[in-house]
Amino acid sequence: MNVQPISGEPARRRRRPWRGGGPLALALGSVLLLVSACGGGDGAAGKQPAGKAGDRAASQAAVVIEPKNGADGVATSGALKVTARQGRLKSVKVKDAKGTEIEGKTAGGGTLWQPNGHLGASTTYTVDAIAVDSQGREAAEHTSFTTLVPKNTFIGQYTPENGERVGVGMPVSIRFTRGITDPKAVEGAIKVTAEPSVPVEGHWFGNDRLDFRPEKYWAAGTKVTLKLDLNGIEGRPGVYGTQTKEVSFTVGRSQVSTVDAASKMMTVVRDGRTVKTIPISAGAPGTETYNGQMVISEKHAVTRMNGETVGFGGEYDIKDVPHAMRLSSSGTFIHGNYWSGKQTFGERNASHGCVGLFDQRGGGDSATPAAWFYDNSLLGDVVIVKNSHDRTIRPDNGFSGWNLPWAQWKADR
């Protein structure tokens, strides 16, 4: 049966009022809260807050590395540089295959990086560089390249040897296996230091020899270190060094011996004190001994001396000269002499330019002046000759560079 409304209005279904309770309400409330939190203060879901859009933009800086990634046969000098465009360099790291880092410096307000020195030959390097723009945003670049493999090479043959104990006059002398036409580059790759510290300078003799010394003789007890970093140095066009080496030697006690060709006596001074005076025989008239400061560069218990090897023809050939020590590359020695007679020493200059000391044949008598001097001398000890009727020895004849004044030693060659 149908029931008609009293008022005559159409019948409507009644709805219960919502009171906000129950599980469904909690769920809906959580969703609304989440949307509000994600959408920001203006209630727009997913919209970026004002002022934050720049954080997502790429850096305006760019890193450019030369040579290009994968390059081969790269020059060891002048080829490597790292540049920042529209920014500045934050860091640059260059390493070889062993992990050794190459030192460098920046210029141009941080826009350019270059190595401090040369690179090694036949070596692969990696480069990692980072630049930043004005907003601090980073741009990075990584590359690797390999330097050239030289067809022609050179090394430096050095004196003294590692670990030696030498006299105060011993220079650091390096002879190169090829003539050098870029001495500045080669000398820049060589470092000689001393402890205690003292200024040490290099001097070129010709194009294949470089010596280093201080202004005055080394102090007794000084430790001297030679570092050769020649690998990759172009010493002459197309000729590259292949050598990386470090050697050290120690200076022993100070011994300086002075030969007076006029009085025919030698005075031996050790650590400032005269320890012995020895009769000698210097060069005879016409074959006088050089004047000047010389350095013992070789020691031979017994050696042969043949006049033909030093321009005296067949005037002498003595096969068993005892206690011989070289003073010059041209053939000057200070040595034992058994053939002139003991009465000669201190009385007459009779040699072909050497300094002779009385000795026994075979050198077996340790009591002779020659044996004593030999036993008490080191490579690098100084022997000075004065009052001889001959010129001063050339600085490049043996280790005679001490005869060159310090200002000339340091002067440009």
The closest alpha carbon to 85, from 106, 105, 69, 63, belongs to 63
**How would residue 115 be classed by pLDDT, with cut points 50, 70 and 90?**
very high
Question: Fold match between 59-146 and 152-251?
Answer: yes
Query: What is the pLDDT, as a whole number, of residue 306?
Result: 86
The per-residue pLDDT for range 46-98, each reduced to its tens digit, is: 333 333 444 558 999 999 999 999 999 999 999 999 999 999 999 999 999 99
| More confident call, 3 vs 318 | 318
pLDDT band at 2 (very low <50, low <70, confident <90, very high): very low
CATH code of the domain made up of 59-146: 2.60.40.3780
Mean pLDDT within 24-43: 36
Amino acid identity for residue 302 in this structure: V
CA 33 to CA 28: how far, in whole Å?
Answer: 9
Q: What CATH superfamily is the domain 255-403?
A: L,D-transpeptidase catalytic domain-like (2.40.440.10)
38 has a pLDDT exceeding 60:
no
What pLDDT score was predicted for residue 151? 96
Asked if 38 is an active-site residue, the reply is: no
Region 138-161 average pLDDT: 98
Sign of the CA dihedral 53, 54, 60, 61? negative
Residue 335 annotated as catalytic: yes
Name the catalytic one among 203, 323, 352, 354: 354
The answer to whether residue 20 scores a pLDDT higher than 60 is no
Question: How many CA atoms are closer than 13 Å to the CA of 164, on its beta-carbon side?
Answer: 17
* Structural tokens at position 332: 């000057």
Mean pLDDT of all residues in the chain? 89
Query: CA-to-CA distance for 382 and 30, rounded, in angstroms?
Result: 97
CATH of 152-251, one of 2.60.40.3710, 3.40.50.720, 3.10.450.50, 3.30.310.80: 2.60.40.3710
Annotated catalytic residue, options 118, 203, 323, 335: 335
Task: Say what the pTM is.
Answer: 0.82
Q: For residue 29, what pLDDT band results from cuts at 50, 70 and 90?
A: very low
| pLDDT tens-digit readout, 308-364 | 877 777 777 899 999 999 999 999 999 999 999 999 999 999 999 999 999 999 999
